[in-house]
Amino acid sequence: MKKTFNIYGMHCAGCSNSVEKVLKNVPGVKSADVQLTTEKAVVEFENGDVPVEDLKKAVESVGFEFGIPDLTKTTFIIEGMHCAGCTSSVEKAIMKVEGVHSAAVNLSTEQAVVEMNQQEVSVEEIEKSVEDAGYSVKKKTLNSQIN
């Protein structure tokens, strides 16, 4: 899984190389690509996710500011879930979509609450991931910005 983060305060290639190096050294990070011109870091994780606080501490340790892109919270109504295994399958499918920062699936309410960067992922991509996992999306509700 990959996620994109904002990095502020970089002025040269040396700066972006320093940030990239410390991010790659965070346990659980498979790769990191830092772009000076866009002030973005694309981080790929080995198995699942790494706490954002660990990434933030690493970036701040070399003197730069770490930011999470503007996230939107969207609620999806999921049909076809019958057990905890179903909720786990839906959650895993959603989390595999690039641009998704978190997903919480609740069996009793049949809802999936997803925090996502809409510059990286569309609602339709998330719906497709749920459908590919064998479930259906009844409806969605776009919520407000998180940040």
pLDDT of the residue at 144: 56
pLDDT of the residue at 142: 62
- Residue 100 has φ and ψ, to the nearest 5°, of -85, 130
Q: Where are the alpha helices (DSSP H) in 27-105?
A: 52-61, 84-95
2-67 and 72-145 in the same fold: yes
pLDDT of the residue at 4: 86
138, 73 contact by CB (below 8 A): no
CATH class for the domain made up of 72-145:
alpha beta
- For the sheet with 100-106, list strands across it: 100-106, 111-116, 72-79, 136-145
Residue ranges in the chain whose pLDDT is less than 50: none
pLDDT of the residue at 2: 83
Helix (H, G, I), strand (E, B) or coil at 71: coil
pLDDT of the residue at 90: 97
pLDDT of the residue at 47: 80
pLDDT of the residue at 143: 62
Annotation: CATH topology of 2-67: Alpha-Beta Plaits (3.30.70)
- Residue 15 has φ and ψ, to the nearest 5°, of -60, -50
CA distance 41 to 4: 6
Structural domain spans, the chain: 2-67, 72-145
Give me the amino acid identity at 32: A
pLDDT of the residue at 30: 94
CA distance 65 to 10: 9
